[in-house]
Amino acid sequence: MHDIRYIRENAAAFDAALARRGMEPVSPSILAVDTARREKILAAETAQAEQNKASKEVGAAKARGDEDEFQRLRTLVADKKAEVARLNDEAKAEDAKLAEMLMGIPNLPFDDVPDGADEEDNVEIKRWGTPREIDFDAKEHFEIAGVVPGMDFATAGKLSGSRFVVLTGSIARIHRALAQFMVNTHVDENGLTEAWTPVLVREEMMYGTGQLPKFGEDSYQTTNGWWMVPTAEVTLTNFVNGETIEEATLPRRYVAHTQCFRSEAGSAGRDTSGMLRQHQFEKVEMVSITKPEDSRGELDRMTACAEGILERLGLPYRTVALCTGDMGFGARRTHDIEVWLPGQNKYREISSVSVCGDFQARRMNARFKPTGGGKPEFLHTLNGSGLAVGRCLIAVLENGQQADGSITLPEVLHPYLGGKTTLTAEGTLI
């Protein structure tokens, strides 16, 4: 959420930053509501002062026996009391209207975010690894002989419908091994604190990280009001919801492996084959909570953490800076990491790492207390995939595929698979 004082003092700059996202100016409508709210508050304060003054004079009029003045002042006090109540109610209504408007405005992009309309305007900032030469017709993950026995879309469709999958046997084990490898790497090598969190959250937690109110259709809500998390960003970031923490405890860096749920409302007809885009999936999520001056550098550190997982797995990737038109609602800058999928002959997103500045912290009222004293300041928050487990499984399977339908597995996974190195064309680990 945005600081209304910043908008008052920098209206033109605020609108110019939003224009980079393709938005029309919003400051005139925002400031009109803000002005009305402040006028109501001032009028209520003035009426309250008049009520207080009249209340003091009532006793004096009674004491000197001035019945007419006494009655006039009593009526004035009652009228002012009603006026104060009415003006306060009107001010609260304007305040709620202002908050709703501010909640619906996306974050402002950093100056170094490339301008553009969509993903075609994203800018590559790094490329690692060279896709291997495959001298046979590379298959997509769900077509590989060794994968077919353990990746069941028909049974998932019977159980739950489209965009679900049942993993069994060796494929389920490789999927689990990937998640364990990711979490262990982030904890043991990258210094993150592991967390296990709920996947059902209160509505205010979804507001805190920006999934609500604008993107409710992208998530699932239970009949009793809980929301199913689209990512552990929601839970991990909201650890500091409503808190004022000590500066000395920063940065706070978390990682969690959770189930995630997305309706994929805006992706009808896209990636309908295989398990690239699912309603239910697993992700290893990273969240950092920092001081303002540290957040931009933290974005680069988190990006490197995610990239390191792919490098350890030997999977070629490229990293792109998202342009203003492709960046998410709460981000000030985003790095997408795209892994090479030979079955599709293209790079596909496997991680998105974003710095949000104080945008989420304002929504959550999350602050830190400076060590040297002074007024508490809003925290800065960051989030990123480290990585999407299902998509990483796809990448491992497709990049390791052999002509006979078997799959050579990355060396770093061998200890998690009991020393086994290969998925045979029959779907067994050896």
385 is in an annotated binding site: yes
93 is in an annotated binding site: no
264 is in an annotated binding site: yes
User: The tokens of 149 are what?
Assistant: 């026995």
Residue 357 burial class via C-beta count within 10 angstroms: exposed 0-12, middle 13-18, buried 19 and up:
buried
64 is in an annotated binding site: no
Tokens 């995939």 correspond to what residue? 385
User: The tokens of 317 are what?
Assistant: 């990737």
Active site residue 262: yes
Give the angle subtended at the CA of 7 by the CAs of 3 and 10, to the nearest 5°. Answer: 130
52 is in an annotated binding site: no
407 is in an annotated binding site: no
CB neighbour burial string for 94-112, b if at least 16 within 10 angstroms, e if fewer: bbeebeebbeebbbbbbee
**Could you tell me whether strands 252-261 and 200-201 are parallel, antiparallel, or unpaired per DSSP bridges?**
unpaired
State how far the alpha carbon of 273 is from the alpha carbons of 2, 163, 170, 269, 419, in Å: 40, 9, 21, 10, 32
CB 200 within 8 A of CB 258: no
349 is in an annotated binding site: yes
How far apart are the C-alpha atoms of 149 and 51, rounded to whole Å? 80
Active site residue 253: no
Catalytic pick from 203, 243, 311, 349? 349
Partners of 408 in the β-ladder: 422
Active site residue 391: yes
Active site residue 173: no
285 is in an annotated binding site: yes
Catalytic pick from 21, 253, 262, 363? 262
How far apart are the C-alpha atoms of 139 and 382, rounded to whole Å? 36
Catalytic pick from 72, 74, 202, 277? 277
263 is in an annotated binding site: yes
69 is in an annotated binding site: no
Partners of 252 in the β-ladder: 289
298 is in an annotated binding site: no
170 is in an annotated binding site: no
233 is in an annotated binding site: yes
Interacting residues of 398 by C-beta distance below 8 A, sequence separation 6+: 138, 139, 140, 141, 144, 341, 342, 343
Catalytic pick from 163, 301, 332, 391? 391
Active site residue 349: yes
Catalytic pick from 219, 295, 352, 406? 352
Binding residues for L-serine: 231-233, 262, 285, 383, 385
Binding residues: 231-233, 262-264, 285, 349-352, 383, 385
Binding residues for ATP: 262-264, 349-352
Q: Which residues are catalytic?
A: 262, 277, 349, 352, 391
